[in-house]
Structure 1
Amino acid sequence: MTAPTPSLPGPVPPHHSVALDLGGRTALVTGAAGGIGRACALRLASAGAEVRAVDRDADGLAALAARAGGLPGLVRTQVLDLTDLDAAEKAAEGVDVLVNNAGLQLVRPLEEFPPDVFHTVLTVMLEAPFRLIRGALPHMYAQGWGRIVNLSSVHGLRASAYKSAYVAAKHGLEGLSKTAALEGAPHGVTSNCVSPGYVRTPLVEAQIADQAAAHGIPPERVLTDVLLRDAALKRLVEPEEVAEAVAYLCTPQAAFVTGISLALDGGWTAH
């Protein structure tokens, strides 16, 4: 009999949103059908942006569109597989704000990690962001303003066992973001990473069984012994908290913030 997935600590109360007016701006959010991407799409639309929400999950995008009804901005959805790199680059043309969020995860020891999955992870989480940035920059440069926010992870700053592809992709994304910041600075374009710890998303919940197998522990110990072991704050990050960090980096007050990695890790990297 399969052990039930351990329950995760309940969400924290919602936080007040930072002031943000993106009226007249167009934003693209990848991986927008759920989790962090959905929270970011809703947050930017609530600030008045026209949001292009892309994902390969058509049902999730439909649910997002329904939830976005009545917001000041507009959410337009597009089913897009980011392994189609030409289509990814084209989707980013003409946007003012780019949020590279889409990701996937597999927990396996290096010697057992499937090479095809490693390739797919690097394609979706590093090569696709490069192509999206490449597609977005001409418009941003032409108007002298742009915001690129790359959803990295504490695993872009630290490594963990059994996550070779994810860690490699996130470390690469951190470097790509810094390069975009240096090149974009003369054109009024900022590029930053937001690097959360474990976030309350289906991606995290789905890896509990794999983590248990990889570490040789029962599933009910994964949360305390693996996911939250190194964090000072013993809870998961909420998607809406990550979206607020993304929103801040799009404000006029953040115009001098570029090339950084904003860690939302509950003190993990304080060690």
Structure 2
Amino acid sequence: MFEKFLSGKTAVITGSNSGIGLGIAHEMARAGADLVINSFTDAPEDHALAESLAAEHGVKVRYIQADMSKGEQCRALIEQAGRCDILVNNAGIQHVAPIDQFPVEKWDAIIAINLSSAFHTTAVALPMMRKAGWGRVVNIASAHGLRASEFKSAYVAAKHGIVGLTKVTALETAREHITANAICPGYVLTPIVEKQIPDQMKTHNMSREDVIAKVMLDRQPSGEFATTAQIGGTAVFLCSAAADQITGTTISVDGGWTAM
């Protein structure tokens, strides 16, 4: 769709060895960007994935391990990358519980990984972008960055925070060739979501089809999951010349969820 217009650019994508992050990595590579992919593990399969992406798309790909709950490792990730034209803050975790029963350690971890990590990576990446004279910050927020759901206090707080951080980043770079935007996905069919379906079938005594339609996609008017490729394609669009004047905003890929 976009050919190779990102050739010569380097995209650093956090939390990108599976799911949405990996989908974004594929689409960025299809557009010609070299990649730095990341997760908290450092297994042979992580480095094999980088080699596979490089072979498939004909770009340079490196895997760098970093625990995104630790600010110093977030900053070191960008420093080790050496170049960051495109920063995709995607790393995230989830936990569900009522506020008065929410484990403090889970709250701290979700805020650190889903929100604070983006502050740390952005702080190191912006000087690199300024030196290069061009940059894109793409933050993966959520429909929960614009709406709330019960039992998701930490996740909703973090994703609302990501939307706010995006706006501040955009204002601070508005006079430069740097943009910052947030993508707000609804339900996306990822391996993690796929694994939840059998448990939901048992809990609700429903068929797979009913769990998807009546439980998971109840708030998604389209009745369909978004795909990781669609999220990736949206991220690539935000790096295109057509998006040069799109900054400080959110783009919902949620089948109409936030239209309600």
Q: Tell me if both proteins adopt one fold, taking TM over 0.5 as the criterion.
A: yes
Q: Is the 8 A contact 1:181 1:190 kept in 2?
A: yes
Per the normalisation by structure 2, the TM-score is 0.90
1:74 matched to which residue of 2?
60
Q: Distance in 2 between matches of 1:56 and 1:219?
A: 35
Matches within 5 A, 1:144-163: 144-163=133-152
Partner of 1:266: 255
Structure 1: which amino acid aligns with 2:216?
L
Paired residues of 1:153 and 1:197 also in contact (CA < 8 A): yes
Q: 1:85 aligns with which of 50, 63, 71?
A: 71
Q: Tell me how far apart the structure 2 counterparts of residues 97 and 169 of structure 1 sit (CA, whole Å).
A: 22
Q: Is the 8 A contact 2:51 2:61 kept in 1?
A: no
Give the aligned partner of residue 39 of structure 2: 55
CA distance in 1, matches of 2:213, 2:56: 40
Q: What is the TM-score when the length of structure 1 is the normalising length?
A: 0.87
State the match for 1:116 in structure 2.
105
Answering whether residue 118 of structure 2 is matched by residue 129 of structure 1, we say: yes
% identical equivalent positions? 38
CA 1:34–1:76 in 2, change beyond 3 Å: closer, same or farther?
same
Which stretch shows the higher mean deviation, 84-93 or 137-146? 84-93
Supply the distance in 1 between the matched residues of 2:100 and 2:206 (Cα, whole angstroms).
Answer: 23
The letter for the 1-side match of 2:7 is G
The residue aligned with 1:180 is: 169
Matches within 5 A, 1:142-221: 142-207=131-196, 217-218=204-205, 220=207
Equivalent position SS for 2:13: strand
Following the alignment from structure 2 to structure 1, what is the Cα–Cα distance between the partners of residues 95 and 20?
18
Q: Give the deviation of 1:236 after TM superposition.
A: 0.8
In structure 2, do the counterparts of structure 1 residues 211 and 193 end up closer, same or farther at CA, with 3 Å as the change threshold? farther
| 2: CA distance, partners of 1:169 / 1:205 | 24
Q: Post-superposition shift, 1:42?
A: 1.7
Q: CA deviation at 1:212?
A: 8.1
Give 5+ residue unaligned stretches, structure 1: 1-16
How far residue 72 of structure 1 moved from its aligned partner, in angstroms, is: 2.7
The gaps in structure 2 that reach 5 residues or longer are none
Higher helix share: 2
Say if 2:70 and 2:112, in contact at 8 Å, map to a contact too. no
Instruction: Report how far residue 113 of structure 1 moved.
Output: 1.4
Q: Using the TM superposition, name which of 176-185 and 53-62 deviates more.
A: 53-62
Task: Give the Cα separation in 1 of the matches to 2:211 and 2:157.
Answer: 22
Q: How many residues align?
A: 253
Amino acid at match of 1:46: R
Q: Is the 8 A contact 1:25 1:49 kept in 2?
A: yes
- Separation (CA, whole Å) in 2 of partners of 1:49 and 1:72: 10
**1:65 pairs with 2:50:** yes
Assess if the C-alpha contact under 8 Å between 1:107 and 1:210 holds in 2.
no
Query: In the TM superposition, what whole-angstrom CA distance separates every residue of 1:134-166 from its partner, at most 9, and x where no partner exists?
Result: 010011112221000000110101111111111
Structure 1 residue 87: Cα displacement: 2.0
Distance 1:218 1:261 in 2: 37
Judged with a 3 Å threshold, the aligned counterparts in structure 2 of structure 1 residues 270 and 192 are, in CA distance, closer, same or farther, namely same
Distance 1:210 1:176 in 2: 35
Q: What does residue 11 of structure 1 align with?
A: none
RMSD, aligned CA: 2.0
Query: What secondary structure sits across from 1:248 in the alignment?
Result: helix
Is the Cα–Cα contact under 8 Å of residues 145 and 189 in structure 1 kept in the other structure?
yes
Aligned residue type for 2:47: A
Query: CA separation of 1:263/1:155 partners in 2, compared to 1, >3 Å: closer, same or farther?
Result: same
